[in-house]
Amino acid sequence: MTTTAPRPQTAASAGGAAREPLEQVRRLVTEVPGPRSRALQERRLAVVSKGVGSTLPVFVERAEGAVLRDVDGNQLIDLGAGIAVVNVGHAQPRVVERVQEQVADFTHTCFMVTPYEEYVAVCEALVRLAPVDGPAKAALFNTGSEAVENAVKIARHATGRDAVVVFDHAYHGRTNLTMAMTAKAMPYKSGFGPFAGEVYRAPMSYPFRDPQGMTGEQAAQRAVRVIEAQVGADQVACVVIEPVQGEGGFIEPAPGFLPALAAWCRENGALFVADEVQTGFARTGDVFACEREGVRPDLVTLAKGVAGGLPLAGVVGRADAMDAVHSGGLGGTYGGNPVACAAALGALEAMADLDLTGAARAVEERMTARLRALQAQRPGIGDVRGRGAMLAVEVVTTEDDGEGGRRATLEPDAAGAAAISAACHAAGVVTLTCGTFGNVLRFLPPLTIEQALLDDALDVLEAAVLSALAG
């Protein structure tokens, strides 16, 4: 018996019975958050650490496709997908079915004690999908941070070197090593040191803020100069980079930047590690983002989108590097949990069957057209960027353009981004912000989002931008 209050009886809690599909429409029946969410928030504040925040304290009762239904009966459009996790949509039938079967069969043995087929099947799929040259192997973990930690462990064994190179605006997680690798102090690092050593930061290619006309190759040279001068080429175990940066602001490096870095790694005996935790699994319109420029990483880290909402992560990479670690050197109690693996097999099947790379590109086309039209009306939208269904606008202050109009500056406008986001939330659209300066609105809808629903979300966003920013 639990001591919690009984759940209100709804279709969602009827458990097991055939349920009505959740209609893919936005519908508000109370203010957001409503009274039941507010009551739950009070309970939460009494017992949940304040260190754990929530973007929008609306308590979810059910989710399907791209719609969240809250405990007050409001239906919200989800443009966050649980931070790029449910790429295949909430309650994707292939995921639900496989998970239900697996839960009934067995939930855990620990792969390091007695193995099971589902783990192997996921690794077979990853090895097939990963943009890695030659034979590849994989290992499974629980979270993106853990995947990044393990990629560093593998790179150190494979190279016999210590140094890890990361970039400005990088986000790699919240464990001690990955905090060191993450760039932003607040909220991720502040007061949590001392941090792991042998982590070095190089300048990122950031087209909106770099000198005009700087090419990807030039930005890579700028990074390489820092690495060679401050670390030493022969000390570098790995260069770890998000092909499109996530939490740091959805920064897509200039073309040529990633290939030049990968080439430098090859020439200098360092491993090139693509942190595809956020960009992976069709999110950017390719299965992995580094495919767009034909970059072939030595190791790829993955998590978020791989398993339709269950916690699963992995490293996939060149077999010789993956096998450089002694037996027993990698693992963990839950890594590659069978239920999470079953979910991944369902999600990967859905990704292929539903052509989710194509779906992501369709979202890009539809959304960027609207966002650019909005930028033409509101110069405070300094930049529209991203790829596939990983899109963002960077909000900046404006100045007199000398011709009676306004033009964008490079000065971040975090308050503007927050106001737009708050207006979207109040109208039932879940949006997230990000960026080193907190001034980037990011959009990560489930790739399966229906066109009419996306258009409705964009109407809400448009109204929010028009009222929050000056013309």
Residues that bind ligand PLP (CB under 6 A): 143-145, 148, 171-173, 242, 246, 275, 277-278, 303-304
By beta-carbon proximity to ligand PLP, the closer residue of 122 and 374 is 122
180 membership: H or E segment, kind and range: helix 176-181
CB nearer to ligand PLP: give 173 or 428.
Answer: 173
Minimum gap (Å) between residue 403 Cβ and ligand PLP: 41
User: Between residues 175 and 268, which has the closer beta carbon with respect to ligand PLP?
Assistant: 175
Distance in angstroms (rounded) separating the CA atoms of residues 78 and 173: 23
Between 246 and 416, name the residue whose CB sits nearer to ligand PLP. 246
**Complex with ligand PLP: residue 220 or 315, whichever CB lies closer:** 315
Provide the minimum distance between the beta carbon of 446 and ligand PLP in the complex, in angstroms, as a whole number: 17
Shortest Å, Cβ 65 to ligand PLP: 23
Contacts of 382 (CB under 8 A, 6+ apart): 208, 394, 395, 396, 408, 409, 410
Residue 457, class by beta-carbon neighbours within 10 Å (0-12 exposed, 13-18 middle, 19+ buried)? Answer: buried
- Nearest in space to 265 (alpha carbons), one of 164, 182, 148: 164
Orientation of helix 451-468 relative to helix 414-426, angle to 10°: 130
Q: How far apart are CA 457 and CA 463, in angstroms?
A: 10
Query: Which helix H or strand E contains 387, and what residues bound it?
Result: strand 381-387
**What is the rounded CA–CA span in Å between residue 54 and residue 70?**
15
Residue 440 β-bridge partners: 394, 434
Report the residue number, 227 or 274, with the smaller CB distance to ligand PLP: 274
- Residue with Cβ nearer ligand PLP (89 or 246): 246
Give pairs for 461-466: CB < 8 Å, separation 24+.
461/370, 461/374, 461/420, 461/424, 461/429, 461/431, 462/370, 462/374, 463/423, 463/427, 464/419, 464/420, 464/421, 464/423, 464/424, 464/427, 465/374, 465/378, 465/381, 465/420, 466/374, 466/377, 466/378
Q: Which is nearer to ligand PLP, 61 or 252 (CB)?
A: 252
